Structure 1
Amino acid sequence: MPNRVPPLEDTWAFQPIGSPFPENPVKCLNQQNMYVALWYKNGKVSCGERFDDGPEACECNECEARRAKPQPVPKPIVRVMLNEWADFRAGDPFPPTKCVRALFRSLTTLPGENPDQYVALWYQAGEPVMGRIWNEGGKIAANFGWGGHEYKKNIGSLQVLFELPEHVRGFDYAWKPYPEAAAQGEKEWVPVHVDNGKVKVSPAVIILDGKEILGKVDIRNERASAGYGGTEKVLVGGAVHASTVLCRKAKAGCKFD
């Protein structure tokens, strides 16, 4: 049989603004913090919403006091200001993470060289040596020039420079002409470097026989080189000035130590 019991009337409770919040109010559809309210103005009925913490325009003493309190200062975003060097061995699987690529593009490079070259760091007799790695059949292949020799076999441990995500790092990378990178005094773009007191080497794309190849530059001693053709190809003095050096610049609000 049909239910002939009439529905109950809605129950409205009288409360002034700023009074304790009632139990079990009717919530507005799809709203997190709004509830059905009824108000009379000049004898006319107006439906609206009530907030459990008071709307922005509420002028009750409690809301006024809350707005008068000092607001907490947001914590500054901490960003990484160090270069991200990761340890690998020659022959390891080529890393899927974004490595720093020479000039951020394929190079117009020397015969027999992979045009997609990435920044790498190696140590020989305690001296830092910048060179290059590339993807050879899914494995890390590497090449470094040091002491007049080219090293591309039995390299062992090396480090690869990675580009951290935009929201993590507090700086940007860019490849800058040698004269700009080597300028003295305060400058916006600072060369990425490793300094052992004897040499201060930076990743650099140098020009050999009119072609680009990733190697290293020692700005302090105005000397650049790369391993190629079984030897270390060396440039000195003015010949170094055609090189392009990897630099970095702090983002707004960030600074290097």
Structure 2
Amino acid sequence: MRKFSRKVLSLLGALLSTEVMRNIKCTWQVPADDDKWTVQAIGTPFPNNPVKVPGQQNMYVALCYIHGQPLMGRAWNDGGVVQCAFADGKEELKGTDIDGAIQVLTYDGNHVTKGFFYEWMKYSDYVAKKSEFRTALRCGSSAPIVWPDKGALGTINLEKRTAVIARNQECYALTEAQLKDMLVLVRNTKEGPSHCECPECERQGELRKASELKLSVLKSEKKVPVGGKVIKALNRPLNTKDGPQEQYVALWYHFGNAVMGRVWCSRGKVAAAFVSMKKVFMGDVGSLQILAQLSPTVAGFDYGWQPYRKVALIEEKEWQPVHISFVAPCVLIGDKEGHEYLGEANLKEEYAHTVLGNKVFRLEGSAISEFQVSSLQVSLVLR
């Protein structure tokens, strides 16, 4: 079989999809750490890395217990020492009004090392967008709430949906209807903060810069700009019934579902083959994407091909499958002669399928254990 010409290679120039990047990123996310409250007596040195209230120059989240009940309030740095104020529902308590020490919320690290970051969001959004990835910082039913218009911080009772906030020696009791535009503090365990400058986000930023202008949508049998080095199945021509053939990992969406398949050169044009809903889709399938490879020093990981039995393990492993949802690129052996075809493995339901002779070829269970799955080497990221 003849080699791809530069003209044909230009048809295969789409970058690794953002969905794949999200799955890769989640692979090495650490478990979420606990909240860290630093115990401080009034007038002692102010702690490092306090959690700041948005829009305020010198206001931080604090906690104290009054009559056994947790209250949230504000702490500030008064010439290098701790001062604070809380609302107990009747009056504003400051300094010597508080018996004993308080606690100041601190955050030492970043969303990668801690497994979460603190995010302030509107109370109305918090209620409307219930999410397992955004949970309120709370002690019992008490949580911090900020009144942006007043520049004040107090306590919301998440069960009763009421709040008490003190400002300028006055104490305000607020109902749910008054809270909708106020801000509550949540733990975000899914993403990173916008404009994050941690080493991981800086690396991701460099990756985005390196790949800028390389992301293009490939339409079957159409020209697109050169996009980079595309991922070749098994890094060599596959042994097919039609002879050696270079096949490339492709991603296609069918009714919103991710489908992994293959593209190859057919008479100088790009051909494609996918299996979805137990049916064959070939030829002009519309828009699709080709998996491209960046330098390991830029991407922070490297690609390879590993047996299904290794990458499907639940426990910690060196190689992780490249996947979206539960589907990953997989090279299947189609017959006793060992003919190879690129298709898809379902990591959840433990089967693999591809297009063979214009028909669906599918195997399940132990029959797919040695099939090669596109993988990335996690150890490169963790070094």
TM-score by length of 1: 0.61
Determine if the alignment matches structure 1 residue 205 to structure 2 residue 336: no
C-alpha contact 1:148 1:231 (8 A) present in aligned 2: no
Letter in 2 for 1:152: M
Deviations 1:28-84 (A, max 9, x none): xxxxxxxxxxxxxxxxxxxxxxxxxxxxxxxxxxxxxxxxxxxxxxx9684347999
Equivalent residue for 2:360?
Answer: 232
Equivalent residue for 1:172?
Answer: 302
Equivalent residue for 1:108?
Answer: 239
Distance 1:211 1:159 in 2: 25
Distance 1:212 1:79 in 2: 36
Letter in 2 for 1:127: N
Equivalent residue for 1:99?
Answer: 230
Deviation at 1:170, TM superposition (A): 0.6
Deviation at 1:184, TM superposition (A): 1.7
Determine if the alignment matches structure 1 residue 79 to structure 2 residue 203: yes
C-alpha contact 1:94 1:139 (8 A) present in aligned 2: no
Distance 1:232 1:86 in 2: 29
Q: Select the structure that is richer in helix.
A: 2
Letter in 1 for 2:285: I
138-147 or 122-131, which moves further after superposition? 138-147
Distance 2:215 2:365 in 1: 30
Are the structure 2 counterparts of residues 238 and 248 from structure 1 closer, same or farther at C-alpha, using a change threshold of 3 Å?
Answer: same
Distance 2:368 2:216 in 1: 28
Equivalent residue for 1:65?
Answer: none
Deviation at 1:153, TM superposition (A): 2.3
Letter in 1 for 2:297: H
C-alpha contact 2:352 2:364 (8 A) present in aligned 1: yes
Tell me the C-alpha RMSD between the 2 structures: 2.7
Deviation at 1:255, TM superposition (A): 4.7
Residue segments in structure 2 that go unaligned for 5+ positions in a row: 1-197
Are the structure 2 counterparts of residues 242 and 219 from structure 1 closer, same or farther at C-alpha, using a change threshold of 3 Å?
Answer: same
Are the structure 2 counterparts of residues 167 and 232 from structure 1 closer, same or farther at C-alpha, using a change threshold of 3 Å?
Answer: same
Letter in 1 for 2:286: G
Distance 1:174 1:183 in 2: 17
TM-score by length of 2: 0.42
Distance 1:119 1:241 in 2: 20
Distance 2:244 2:258 in 1: 23
Distance 2:274 2:308 in 1: 20
Residue segments in structure 1 that go unaligned for 5+ positions in a row: 1-74
Distance 1:103 1:131 in 2: 14
For the pair shown, the structure with the greater C-alpha radius of gyration is: 1
Equivalent residue for 1:188?
Answer: 318
Deviation at 1:108, TM superposition (A): 1.2
Deviation at 1:165, TM superposition (A): 2.7
Equivalent residue for 1:247?
Answer: 375
Deviation at 1:99, TM superposition (A): 0.5
Distance 2:294 2:369 in 1: 29
Deviation at 1:227, TM superposition (A): 1.3
Distance 1:99 1:117 in 2: 10
SS where residue 238 of structure 1 aligns?
helix
Letter in 2 for 1:116: E
SS where residue 184 of structure 1 aligns?
coil
Are the structure 2 counterparts of residues 138 and 95 from structure 1 closer, same or farther at C-alpha, using a change threshold of 3 Å?
Answer: farther
Are the structure 2 counterparts of residues 163 and 95 from structure 1 closer, same or farther at C-alpha, using a change threshold of 3 Å?
Answer: farther
Are the structure 2 counterparts of residues 238 and 250 from structure 1 closer, same or farther at C-alpha, using a change threshold of 3 Å?
Answer: closer
Are the structure 2 counterparts of residues 168 and 255 from structure 1 closer, same or farther at C-alpha, using a change threshold of 3 Å?
Answer: same
Deviation at 1:242, TM superposition (A): 2.5
Q: Which runs of 4+ in 1 moved over 6 A?
A: 81-85
Letter in 1 for 2:332: I
C-alpha contact 1:145 1:231 (8 A) present in aligned 2: no
Count of aligned residue pairs for this structure pair: 176
Letter in 2 for 1:241: S
For residues 145-164 of structure 1, what are the structure 2 equivalents within 5 Å? 145-164=275-294
Letter in 2 for 1:99: V
Letter in 1 for 2:247: Q
